[in-house]
């Protein structure tokens, strides 16, 4: 005779198998489900109409030839095959990659440095406000201001360079400088924000750890390398994911300054997609390129998340 | 009870899976239904209303006041029609226009360009004006020769009424040329050939001055530290070279395509063309022309004004811009005489097109007719901004231009001597232009050779056949 | 009786003030450089906007406005005649500032209200309510966060076109209005952190879930809700790509798009730098003002929002 054939007694504590308990529980869930569905409804509507369905439609269009003025024509994998022979796409992939690497490297290193400085020197909210100020301004405004400051003829930066004895640099006009310049401009904008993210992570590290290390004679640099960095890993990973995804989608800055030039040096993927869709009226191929971008970003995010989870225990 | 627990867990789990399956099924059903039904294309057919507010787009800010005056006169004569003028810079104009076509929100009337309208016509985005012209009193013979040809599409229909024409000439800083001892006669007598550049190159070299005051044709000239370039540069000219190299290449006997307009192949693989580009590019190496990278973010006119350039080649539509420059003496000279013993210049004409999606095409046609009429063209000519397309109104414009002190014959000589070169009209212009801009930029930046343009020509010809309708 | 001195015995190393170390000085210099680099472009915007556009080329290195004038602002606000504008290097084009400002305010407000309200509802459903498929749906929303906007913007554009919503406020606002994954995660995080006792107490009192949410949870969340609203407002204000696609008609144009148009309207060739900087400053001004008022809140919230 199994122990569990005994009929349950109402109100018996402990075992969740008590029947009235689970009946109450079932009713609670049913009641909550109704409310939850109502609460979720608007977001669900937004998700389905503006995220889910466009994704499906985008994928569908990527298999067609669609110029908006006539119905789409199914062409199978033709658009994807074209990706392999399209020099402009290869160029845009290269340009975007270069931009992402430069932007991320610069931003992360500088933001880390800035965050540590803020953490060790002052907790002042004023300083943090100043530092995050560029982030509040629209990309378009930032791009225009730097377009002016980096002007070859009369921009203040080149004036400064010449005053120091160097030769002026065509920041936006030189093929080799264009992408690094755009990376620098966007770094300027996002530096403060990223630094504040890392700063918050630094705040979470208990001060006792540092004090203990200091009594053992560790200096600043050692503490930074042996304590701060490892403990910051989850935060840094998160910051990396966010900034990585963001930088793949650079568009505003390019649109307002170089428009993809000079000689396609700044024709980044998102700008190329825009160009394909709205100038060459090739929505099918543009969608195919977007799908590729989506896949790349998904892979990167997945990899990043795996790495993050692997390091979550560090803080404990 | 464990059994109960197990059951509860199972049922909870099943409920979760069921819910998941249900959501997935519903979503896919909805998606398929919506997808198949809703991916439409096409534009609206428009309507022929005779009154209403017309949106009119243009790109030249210099011309806005003149056309605003035309609009005011037109509105007075046509109560019930109002004109809203919107101006976008040239670089963004075509982007905005195409996006507006896609978005079904195109302007009723817009200033169109001969090199661009092929793509709009082939897609049915602009109105065929032949039936309208036939029904009206418009006399196509009143227009300067060549302008109506530019506005006849590949299908033989008219897609715009020409309202002005323009050619290319040389604007030079007279203070600099006086300093160098170069007279207006010297400039008018310049000759050119792709081998040694002729007297054109000699003048350019003489006008170039480096930071130590040494001229380009003197010993000790430092081509890496130039203070004044003999010839200015704005861009690589893409596939047309309207203000850059077309006036030189055309004198070698080279033509853009196998036909003057709507040809079936381009000739960028011709060695005469490549020799011209090669010569033009060599000016950069010699230090007589600035590198392409330094031309971003500035204008020819301001560089001429501050003495960074001694001469520039620019279009007659900019006469007003150069006239307004302060603190400097500017004058004009015609393009040099080339290999065939004659001068050459690209010839272009602007016209206004009507969008097929407009709801007020009746009113739009009235406005377009007015724009191409003697009344409006007189107003525009009086402002001294462009050469009007109606021959009889031309004199007013020439008088106004003469008042600027510029030698206007530099531009009119091509009409008088029949040395004009038409814009190469083709379909697929957007794609072709993108390829040519990229390739020419590379050549001028020394990342590719002029010979590479042969391979580019193949690409361009493929685009041409792909886009042919 | 001597009272024991409550002052702790100072360790010998602490009897004198430590001199600022070389490291600390370097650190402060580095910090100052960061601050300078952050602030200088703002000053430069102002300096250029107050200069005479036509004379800018004559003294490009001057740290003060060249030929001080309010002309650029007048030009941008449409208060100058075409002659005055062109005399100072402008093109006679103006930024219909007030109109576009209103558009930006309207659009940003709509988007923010929708995102915060619906986001709060959804976040609560994820955090506190139990219902089948909850985790699956949450996972779906998580994926939505990773989708690059460009991927959905093309089809969304086609959708707006088919619905005839191009160049309408609805077209600009709708894709953002109902949901943004960020808002849901942000608030869910907060709701998860609220102790369950309060809810249980309210439930024992007989309150329905609906009432608990609106009368108990929401008022408690005023802080994070306000923070989220501010962050989303700033983001909505700075949107460029979508309003460019869907709202370029003058009646619904927002400031960012207007700025792009103004930039391209410059006279044949040379950009109207003074006018451009004045326009940029005016476009950034509302957010700057918002920030000055709420700076502490914004600055303190940024860390929280980053942590999952």
Least confident of A199-213, B133-147, B234-248: A199-213
Task: Provide the token pair at A145.
Answer: 């201001």
| A256 neighbors C137 (Cβ within 8 angstroms) | no
Q: With H, G, I as helix, E, B as strand and everything else as coil, classify residue C92.
A: coil
pLDDT at C299 over 70: yes
Spatial separation of the C-alpha atoms in residues A139 and A188, rounded to whole Å: 11
Sign of CA dihedral A95, A97, A102, A104: positive
Q: With H, G, I as helix, E, B as strand and everything else as coil, classify residue B83.
A: strand
- With vertex at residue C277, the alpha carbon angle to CA B326 and CA B291, rounded to the nearest 5 degrees, is 60
Q: Closest approach of chain A CAs to the CA of C184, in angstroms? A: 9
Spatial separation of the C-alpha atoms in residues B374 and B372, rounded to whole Å: 7
> CB A170 to CB B91 under 8 A?
no
C141: contact with A, CB 8 A cutoff = yes
- Mean of pLDDT over chain C: 82
B211 lies in the same domain as B317: yes
Q: Closest approach of chain A CAs to the CA of C177, in angstroms? A: 8
Subunit partners of chain A (3 or more CB pairs within 8 A): B, C
| B96 neighbors B415 (Cβ within 8 angstroms) | no
Q: Is residue B17 part of a domain?
A: no
Least confident of B25-39, B205-219, C77-91: B25-39
| B335 neighbors B407 (Cβ within 8 angstroms) | no
> CB A293 to CB C155 under 8 A?
no
Domain span including residue B359: 52-165+349-389
Q: Is residue B31 part of a domain?
A: no
Task: Provide the token pair at C203.
Answer: 């439930």
Chain B residue with CA closest to A68: the answer is: B41
pLDDT at A12 over 70: no
For tokens 């693989």, name the residue: B269
Short-list C109, C95, C84, C81, CA closest to C277: C95
Facing residue for C56 by CB, picked from A121, A154, A192: A154
| A8 neighbors B1 (Cβ within 8 angstroms) | yes
pLDDT of residue C8: 44
pLDDT of residue C94: 66
ω into A262 cis (within 30 of 0): yes
pLDDT of residue A17: 47
pLDDT more than 70, % of chain B: 90
> CB B302 to CB C261 under 8 A?
no
Q: Which helix (H) or strand (E) holds B19?
A: helix B2-38
Task: Provide the token pair at C66.
Answer: 């060249």
B260 lies in the same domain as B354: no
> What is the tens place of the pLDDT at every residue in A92-124?
999 999 999 999 999 999 999 999 888 888 878
pLDDT of residue B27: 53
> CB C152 to CB A51 under 8 A?
yes
pLDDT of residue C92: 64
Ranked by mean pLDDT, the top range of A158-167, B23-32, B266-275, B396-405 is B266-275
B196 lies in the same domain as B56: no
pLDDT of residue C266: 66
Q: Closest approach of chain A CAs to the CA of B198, in angstroms? A: 30
Count contacts between A and B (CB, < 8 Å): 118
Q: Closest approach of chain B CAs to the CA of A194, in angstroms? A: 31
Task: Provide the token pair at A206.
Answer: 């208990």
Q: Is residue B380 part of a domain?
A: yes
Running DSSP on this structure, what letter comes out for residue C4? Answer: P
Spatial separation of the C-alpha atoms in residues C53 and C89, rounded to whole Å: 5
Which residues in chain B touch residue A271, judged by CB atoms under 8 angstroms apart? Answer: none
Which residues in chain A touch residue B307, judged by CB atoms under 8 angstroms apart? Answer: none
| Span A17-39, average pLDDT | 74
pLDDT more than 90, % of chain B: 58
Q: Is residue B264 part of a domain?
A: yes
pLDDT at A18 over 80: no
| B163 neighbors B388 (Cβ within 8 angstroms) | yes
pLDDT of residue A33: 81
B96 lies in the same domain as B135: yes
pLDDT at A136 over 60: yes
B78 lies in the same domain as B208: no
Q: If contacts are CB pairs under 8 Å, which of residues 214-243 in chain B contact chain C? A: 234
B325 lies in the same domain as B356: no
The alpha carbons of chain A give a radius of gyration, in whole angstroms, of 27
Least confident of A297-306, B142-151, B269-278: A297-306
B247 lies in the same domain as B371: no
Domains in chain B, number: 2
Q: Which helix (H) or strand (E) holds B162?
A: strand B161-162
Helices (H), B324-373: 361-371
pLDDT of residue C293: 87
Spatial separation of the C-alpha atoms in residues A216 and B411, rounded to whole Å: 85
Spatial separation of the C-alpha atoms in residues A93 and A272, rounded to whole Å: 10
Pairing status of strand B109-112 against strand B52-58 = parallel
Which residues touch A227 (CB under 8 Å, ≥6 apart)? A205, A209, A210, A213
Q: Closest approach of chain B CAs to the CA of A241, in angstroms? A: 29
B237 lies in the same domain as B375: no
Least confident of A12-26, A68-82, B2-16, B101-115: B2-16
**Which CATH number characterizes residue B308's domain?**
3.40.190.10
Chain B residue with CA closest to A177: the answer is: B293
Task: Provide the token pair at A183.
Answer: 């990376």
pLDDT at B260 over 80: yes
| Span A17-37, average pLDDT | 73
Q: Closest approach of chain A CAs to the CA of B298, in angstroms? A: 8
Facing residue for C249 by CB, picked from B60, B105, B324: B105
Neighbours of A23 (CB within 10 A): 10
- Mean of pLDDT over chain B: 87
Which residues in chain B touch residue A140, judged by CB atoms under 8 angstroms apart? Answer: none
HEC letters along chain A:
CCHHHCCCCCCCCCCCCCHHHHHHHHHHHHHHHHHHHHHHHHHHHHHHHHHHHHHHHHHHHCCEECCCCCCCEECCCHHHHHHHHCHHHHHHHHHHHHHHHHHHHHHHHHHHHHHHHHHHHCCCHHHHHHHHHHHHCCHHHHHHHHHHHCCCCCCHHHHHHHHCCCCCCCCCCCHHHHHHHHHHHHHHHHHHHHHHHHHHHHHCCCHHHHHHHHHCCCCHHHHHHHHHHHHHHHHHHHHHHHHHHHHCCCCHHHHHHCCCCCCCCCCCHHHHHHHHHHCCCCHHHHHHHHHHHHHHHHHHHHHHHHHHHHHHHHHC
pLDDT at B12 over 60: no
User: ipTM of the predicted structure?
Assistant: 0.81
pLDDT at B18 over 60: no
pLDDT band per the 50, 70, 90 thresholds, residue A81: very high
pLDDT of residue C18: 61
Spatial separation of the C-alpha atoms in residues C217 and C220, rounded to whole Å: 5
pLDDT of residue B78: 92
B141 lies in the same domain as B179: no
> CB B104 to CB C91 under 8 A?
no
pLDDT at C4 over 60: no
> What is the tens place of the pLDDT at every residue in C166-203?
999 999 999 999 888 888 888 888 888 887 888 888 88
pLDDT of residue C267: 56
| A155 neighbors C60 (Cβ within 8 angstroms) | yes
Chain A residue with CA closest to C171: the answer is: A50
pLDDT band per the 50, 70, 90 thresholds, residue B39: very low
Q: Is residue B291 part of a domain?
A: yes
> CB C31 to CB A298 under 8 A?
no
Which residues in chain B touch residue A153, judged by CB atoms under 8 angstroms apart? Answer: 297-298, 308
Structural domains in chain A, sorted by start: 87-315 (1.10.3720.10)
Contacts of residues C28-35 at CB distance under 8 Å and 24 or more positions apart, as own/partner, are C28/A121, C30/A113, C30/A117, C31/A114, C31/A117, C31/A118, C31/A121, C31/A127, C34/A114, C34/A117, C34/A131, C34/A191, C35/A127, C35/A130, C35/A131
Q: Which helix (H) or strand (E) holds B460?
A: helix B453-467
B155 lies in the same domain as B182: no
Q: Identify any residues that bridge with B314 across adjacent strands, giving them in sequence order.
A: B169
pLDDT at A70 over 50: yes
Structural domains in chain C, sorted by start: 102-253+286-306 (1.10.3720.10)
| Span A55-73, average pLDDT | 89
Ranked by mean pLDDT, the top range of B231-240, C121-130, C195-204 is B231-240
Spatial separation of the C-alpha atoms in residues B105 and B103, rounded to whole Å: 5
pLDDT of residue A308: 65
Q: Is residue B144 part of a domain?
A: yes
Q: Is residue B402 part of a domain?
A: no
B341 lies in the same domain as B449: yes
B110 lies in the same domain as B98: yes
> What is the tens place of the pLDDT at every residue in C134-144?
888 888 887 77
Q: Identify any residues that bridge with B57 across adjacent strands, giving them in sequence order.
A: B86, B110
Facing residue for A159 by CB, picked from C60, C175, C304: C60
pLDDT of residue A226: 80
Interface test with B, best of C264, C272, C274 (most B CBs within 10 A): C264
Spatial separation of the C-alpha atoms in residues C37 and C45, rounded to whole Å: 13
pLDDT more than 90, % of chain A: 28
Short-list C53, C261, C92, C84, CA closest to B65: C92
Spatial separation of the C-alpha atoms in residues B407 and B177, rounded to whole Å: 15
Phi-psi region of A53 (alpha: psi -120 to 50; beta: other; left: phi over 0): alpha
Q: Closest approach of chain A CAs to the CA of B204, in angstroms? A: 22
Q: Is residue B7 part of a domain?
A: no
pLDDT of residue C7: 43
| Span A56-83, average pLDDT | 90
pLDDT at B101 over 70: yes
| Span A164-176, average pLDDT | 88
């Amino acid at each position: 005779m199994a122990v569990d054939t005994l009929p349950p007694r109402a109100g018996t504590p402990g075992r969740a198998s008590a029947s009235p308990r689970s009946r109450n529980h079932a009713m609670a869930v049913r009641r909550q489900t109704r409310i939850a569905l109502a609460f979720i409804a608007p977001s669900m509507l937004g998700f389905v109409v503006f995220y889910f369905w466009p994704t499906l439609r985008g994928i569908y269009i990527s298999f067609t030839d669609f110029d908006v003025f006539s119905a789409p024509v199914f062409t199978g994998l033709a658009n994807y095959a074209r990706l392999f022979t399209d020099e402009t796409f290869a160029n845009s992939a290269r340009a975007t990659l270069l931009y992402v690497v430069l932007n991320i490297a610069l931003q992360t290193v500088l933001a880390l440095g800035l965050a540590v400085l803020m953490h060790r020197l002052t907790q002042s909210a004023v300083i943090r406000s100043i530092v995050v100020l560029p982030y509040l301004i629209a990309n378009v405004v930032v791009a225009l201001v730097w377009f002016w400051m980096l002007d070859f003829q009369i921009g203040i930066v080149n004036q400064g360079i010449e005053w120091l004895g160097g030769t002026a640099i065509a920041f936006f006009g030189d093929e080799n400088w264009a992408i690094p310049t755009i990376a620098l401009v966007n770094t300027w904008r996002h530096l403060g924000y990223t630094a504040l993210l890392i700063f918050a992570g630094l705040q979470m590290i208990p001060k006792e750890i540092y004090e203990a290390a200091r009594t053992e004679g560790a200096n600043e640099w050692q503490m930074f390398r042996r304590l701060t960095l490892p403990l910051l890993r989850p935060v840094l990973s998160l910051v990396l994911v966010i900034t990585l995804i963001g930088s793949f989608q650079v568009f505003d800055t390019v649109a307002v300054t170089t428009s993809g030039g000079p000689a396609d040096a700044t024709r980044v993927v998102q700008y190329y997609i825009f160009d394909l869709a709205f100038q060459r009226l090739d929505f099918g191929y543009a969608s195919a390129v977007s799908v590729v971008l989506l896949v790349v970003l998904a892979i990167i995010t997945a990899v990043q998340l795996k790495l993050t989870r692997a390091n979550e225990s560090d803080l404990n | 009870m464990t059994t109960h627990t197990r059951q509860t867990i199972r049922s909870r789990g099943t409920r979760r899976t069921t819910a998941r399956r249900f959501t997935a099924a519903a979503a896919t059903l909805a998606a398929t239904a919506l997808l198949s039904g809703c991916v439409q294309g096409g534009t609206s057919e428009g309507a022929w209303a005779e009154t209403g507010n017309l949106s009119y787009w243009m790109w030249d800010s210099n011309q806005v006041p003149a056309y605003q005056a035309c609009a005011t006169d037109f509105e007075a004569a046509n109560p019930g029609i109002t004109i809203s003028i919107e101006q976008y810079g040239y670089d963004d104009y075509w982007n905005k226009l195409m996006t507006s076509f896609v978005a079904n929100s195109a302007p009723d009337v817009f200033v169109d360009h001969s090199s661009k309208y092929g793509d709009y016509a082939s897609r049915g985005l602009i109105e065929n004006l032949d039936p309208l012209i036939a029904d009206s009193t418009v006399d196509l013979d009143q227009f300067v020769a060549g302008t109506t040809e530019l506005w006849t599409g590949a299908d033989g229909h008219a897609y715009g009424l020409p309202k002005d024409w323009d050619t290319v000439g040389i604007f030079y800083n007279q203070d600099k040329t006086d300093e160098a001892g170069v007279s207006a006669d010297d400039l008018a007598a310049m000759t050119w050939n792709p081998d040694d550049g002729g007297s054109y190159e000699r003048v350019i070299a003489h006008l170039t001055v480096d930071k130590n005051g040494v001229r380009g044709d003197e010993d000790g000239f430092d081509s890496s530290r130039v203070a004044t370039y003999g010839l200015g540069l704005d861009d690589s000219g893409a596939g047309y070279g309207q203000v850059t190299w077309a006036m030189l290449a055309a004198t070698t006997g080279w033509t853009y395509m196998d036909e003057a307009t709507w040809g079936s192949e381009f000739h960028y693989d011709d060695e005469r063309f490549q020799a011209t580009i090669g010569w033009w590019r060599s000016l950069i190496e010699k230090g007589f022309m600035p590198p392409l990278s330094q031309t971003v973010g500035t204008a020819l006119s301001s560089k001429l004004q501050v003495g960074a350039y001694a001469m520039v080649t620019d279009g007659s539509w900019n006469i007003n811009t150069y006239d307004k420059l302060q603190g400097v003496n500017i004058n004009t000279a015609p393009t040099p005489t080339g290999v065939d013993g004659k001068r050459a210049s690209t010839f272009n004409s602007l016209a206004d097109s009507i969008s097929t999606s407009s709801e007020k095409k009746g009113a739009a046609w009235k406005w377009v007719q007015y724009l191409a009429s003697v009344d409006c063209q007189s107003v525009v000519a009086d402002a001294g901004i462009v050469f009007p397309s109606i021959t009889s109104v031309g004199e007013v414009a020439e008088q106004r231009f003469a008042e600027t002190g510029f030698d206007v014959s530099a531009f009119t000589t091509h009409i008088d001597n029949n040395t004009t070169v038409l814009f190469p009209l083709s379909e697929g212009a957007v794609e072709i232009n993108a390829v040519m801009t990229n390739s020419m930029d590379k050549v001028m930046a020394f990342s590719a050779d002029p010979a590479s343009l042969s391979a580019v020509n193949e690409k361009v010809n493929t685009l041409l056949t792909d886009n042919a309708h | 009786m001597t009272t024991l001195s409550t002052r702790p015995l100072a360790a010998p190393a602490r009897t004198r003030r430590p001199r600022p170390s070389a490291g600390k000085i370097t650190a402060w210099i580095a910090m100052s450089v960061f601050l300078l680099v952050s602030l200088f472009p703002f000053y430069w915007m102002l300096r250029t906007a107050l200069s005479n556009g036509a004379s800018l080329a004559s003294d490009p290195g001057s740290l003060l406005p060249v030929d001080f004038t309010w002309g650029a602002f007048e030009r941008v606000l449409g208060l100058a005649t075409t002659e005055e504008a062109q005399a100072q290097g402008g093109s006679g084009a103006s930024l219909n500032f007030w109109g576009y400002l209103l558009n930006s305010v309207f659009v940003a407000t709509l988007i923010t209200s929708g995102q915060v309200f619906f986001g709060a509802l959804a976040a609560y459903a994820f955090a506190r309510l139990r219902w089948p498929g909850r985790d699956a749906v949450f996972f779906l929303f998580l994926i939505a966060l990773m989708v690059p906007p460009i991927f959905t913007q093309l089809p969304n554009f086609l959708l707006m076109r088919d619905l005839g919503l191009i160049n309408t406020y609805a077209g600009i606002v709708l894709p953002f209005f109902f949901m943004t994954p960020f808002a849901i995660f942000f608030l869910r995080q907060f709701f998860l952190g609220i102790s369950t006792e309060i809810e249980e107490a309210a439930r024992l009192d007989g309150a329905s879930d609906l009432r608990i949410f609106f009368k108990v949870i929401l008022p408690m969340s005023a802080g994070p809700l306000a923070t989220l609203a501010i962050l989303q407002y700033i983001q909505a204000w700075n949107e460029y790509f979508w309003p460019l696609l869907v709202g370029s008609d003058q009646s619904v144009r927002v400031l960012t798009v207007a700025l792009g148009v103004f930039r391209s309207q410059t006279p044949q060739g040379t950009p109207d730098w003074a006018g451009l900087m004045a326009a940029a400053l005016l476009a950034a001004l509302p957010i700057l003002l918002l920030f000055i008022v709420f700076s502490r809140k914004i600055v303190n919230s940024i860390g929280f929002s980053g942590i999952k």
